[in-house]
Amino acid sequence: MLKIENINVFYGAIHAIKDISIEVNEGEIVTLIGANGAGKSTTLRTISGLLKPKTGKITFEGKDIAGIPAQAIVKTGISQVPEGRRVFANMTVMENLELGAYIRSDKSGIAEDMNSVFERFPRLLERKSQLAGTLSGGEQQMLAMGRALMSRPRLLLLDEPSMGLAPLLVKEIFTIVQEINRTGTTVLLVEQNANMALSIANKAYVLETGRITLSGDAKELAASEDVRKAYLGG
């Protein structure tokens, strides 16, 4: 579904992504794990069109998308939940969700998806008229995920969904990610909580200073001694 081939990404003179190649098949949950500053978020930002690769190829469902504008990438069927949630603080929950559907004009479909977001996240329904900036961190994460789902993505890019959340909420968010995947959305997940990410993913890539150092079946990587020592606390 998504194929990244030998991309290189720079921030000015800094070579942030070095020749990485990643594949995501339809229906999978694929995770990128690695320390802070390894290049995980940069990879997602490049896929979603916020950054342009200097060299390399990104194809989504056979179409070359490297370097096309972010709004055009949403129209191809890719949506991103950004790191730090980035909800529109001075707008209500409902308005944030409506913005997620800005590329669509099918009113009945939008209403249907709004209902399914509220079914999946009942707390958002309770707070639909509340300003997004007044929600708790966990609720803002749910809103950011709901907003991304409103564009009906076939591929969902999730950037650090567990960041800053209490352990119980982290569990809930990961359960929701699995549900979203089961209902037909492919997921590419960037996550510092390697234990949780590897427990729900099919496939995993380990990023270190802009390079992929390991890749393979998520369960096998979770059992690997190198991965355990570096990312899973021994």
Q: Which CATH class is domain 2-84+153-231?
A: alpha beta
CA distance 80 to 145: 8
Beta carbons of 64 and 74 less than 8 angstroms apart: no
One-character DSSP codes across the chain: -EEEEEEEEEETTEEEEEEEEEEE-TT-EEEEE--TTSSHHHHHHHHTTSS--SEEEEEETTEE-TT--HHHHHHHTEEEE-TT----TTSBHHHHHHHHTTT---HHHHHHHHHHHHHH-HHHHHTTTSBGGGS-HHHHHHHHHHHHHTT--SEEEEE-TTTT--HHHHHHHHHHHHHHHHTT-EEEEE-S-HHHHHHH-SEEEEEETTEEEEEEEHHHHHH-HHHHHHHS--
Q: pLDDT tens for residues 134-181? A: 999 889 999 999 999 999 999 999 999 998 888 888 898 899 999 999
CA distance 170 to 192: 12
Beta carbons of 196 and 169 less than 8 angstroms apart: no
Q: pLDDT tens for residues 4-57? A: 999 999 999 999 999 999 999 999 999 999 988 899 999 999 999 999 999 999
pLDDT, residue 164, reads 85
pLDDT, residue 61, reads 97
pLDDT, residue 168, reads 87
162: tokens are 């567990």
pLDDT, residue 225, reads 86
Q: pLDDT tens for residues 172-216? A: 889 999 999 999 999 999 998 899 999 999 999 999 999 999 999
Q: pLDDT tens for residues 49-91? A: 999 999 999 999 999 999 899 989 999 999 999 887 789 999 9
Residue spans of the domains in the chain: they are: 2-84+153-231
pTM flag (> 0.85): yes
Over residues 92-109, mean pLDDT: 92
71-108 burial, b if ≥16 CB within 10 A, otherwise e? eebbeebbbbbbbebebeeeebbbebbeebbeeeeeee
Residue 233 confidence class, pLDDT cut points 50, 70, 90? low
Residue 229 confidence class, pLDDT cut points 50, 70, 90? confident
217: tokens are 């079946």
